Structure 1
Amino acid sequence: MLSTDHAQVERWRKRRTQLAAATPDQRRELLADTARQTRRSVVRMIRTAGQGHIGGDFSVADILTTLFSYTLRVDPAAPSARGTDRFILSKGHCAASLYSTLADAGYFPVRALETFMRPLSELNGHPNRTKIPGVETNTGPLGHGLPVAVGQAMGARLTGSDTRVFVVLGDGELQEGSNWEALMAASHFRLDNLVIIVDRNRLQQGARTEDTNGLEPLEARLRAFGCEVRRVDGHDFDALIEAFRPAGENRPVAVIADTVKGKGVSFMEDRVEWHHKVPTPEQTDQALKELA
């Protein structure tokens, strides 16, 4: 398993302290800069590896930044500590953004990102909990993350912990029936310590979600399954922070984060081919310029 980078943890803690004391404008600037660095890192990782899911990595980057830089009660030096919050990236194919976010917090050294998807690397194409600190469960097969998150939220309830559990789903992933079974259980057990975040970029591999298997009216469906639903711009840090607040009602929270696939790079935005495409050297240079 990769080891903690304690120097980076201290830098991350310092930034968290700055964010807590910042004005709203300063906070937005700090979070935007962190998310921009995540996207730049992802571009390099996928270009070097020759494979990856850059479009979804970019759509979820602002969500991950908000969670790990501001919302989550976590300790990268002690990932399994009792009472800390839990996070699951159910859309595990977007591991590059998660790895970059975890490295930025010091869960493991930033230099390890250079090994992304190389033979025998701990940083393979989908997160592996036995190799990477900060990863709660292996994900990749879609529809698995939410059931695990429901189990973790129930476990926290049973042990009297104030742990909150956050899980990010792809919108295309909601076509998996296991998610709706898990939602019924979460509602039945009134898991108000569970936050379900849908990365609603409206594109999946090969097509738009609504053309493949329509999800709308998504708000009404999630509400019918017993969730307290909050719909926000998934690239608005203030809106995300507000959406991730504790439940106002005795039931799970479902955040629909409206995002743009490929967000941040003009020729990638809202283009289905960037679900699973590797930028050329010229496209890499252009993307890094736009993210400068």
Structure 2
Amino acid sequence: MKRYSSVVRRVVLAAAAVALAAGCTPDASGAGTGTGTGPAPSSAAPRTSAPSSTPTTDGKPSSPAPSAATPTPTSSTGTPAPKPLMGDGDENEQVRELQARLRQLDFFDRAPTGFYGTMTAGAVRKFQARRGLPETGSVDETTWQTLLSVTRKPTADELKPSTTNKLDTPDPRCMTGRVLCISKESRTLAWMIDGKVVSSMDVRFGSENTPTREGLFKVEWKAREWTSTIYHTPMPYAMFFSRGQAVHYSADFAARGYAGASHGCVNVRDRAKLSALFDQVKVGDKVVVHW
């Protein structure tokens, strides 16, 4: 009997050693932690962990049910985030009005396009910062109502202006008579009669080496078709005002924009507008070139 008891004792000790080797470690109370307690009997089914989700009919696990309802998006202050009225990628007439109103405040320096892109978003952020609003770059109801309160309803010309560049404040010399009022600051030409703008267009000037002269001049002579005798380039609708410098159409300006420059003349890129202007301007009309 003693010999049988010693054999049993050795078997129990051996089993305990196997359990320790399998990873069971005692907790503070001395009880084993973890799931393993030694080899499972061969007749028992292997133990598996419970599935984390319920299988769907297509064999893919379904998402586990959330423990709580999905919260409503909120702003940094904890209040519900306002729904945007306009934002990146939008293209409509309300966006055009937005751009025209921002342009009234000098936050947007391009002609309204009706498309909400990065430039519009940047202009909106500047306006929001000035007014102490969250700088989201998109227009919510608060931003829109604030903008409406500090601007006026845009005119048809403001919504679809005749020039890409915004007209500069006219030089005082442009406020009387018939004048080609040309601003180097805004790169525009305004045809004015008694202080009123009749038409306007974008212009380009000479380079640093061949600058366009500034000052008060008059139209000396005109030529509907002309070719430069120095540079041998076409100068349609030329209106000469200062020793060979003229306002004229430039195909290069129309093609390359401000990537190039003239040899001192005032280039116009809208041929149709200049053609109409050419018919209105008379020899002797004033020309003012200013900053």
* TM-score (normalizing by structure 2): 0.25
Rg larger in 1 or in 2?
2
| Structure with the higher helix share, 1 or 2 | 1
* TM-score (normalizing by structure 1): 0.25
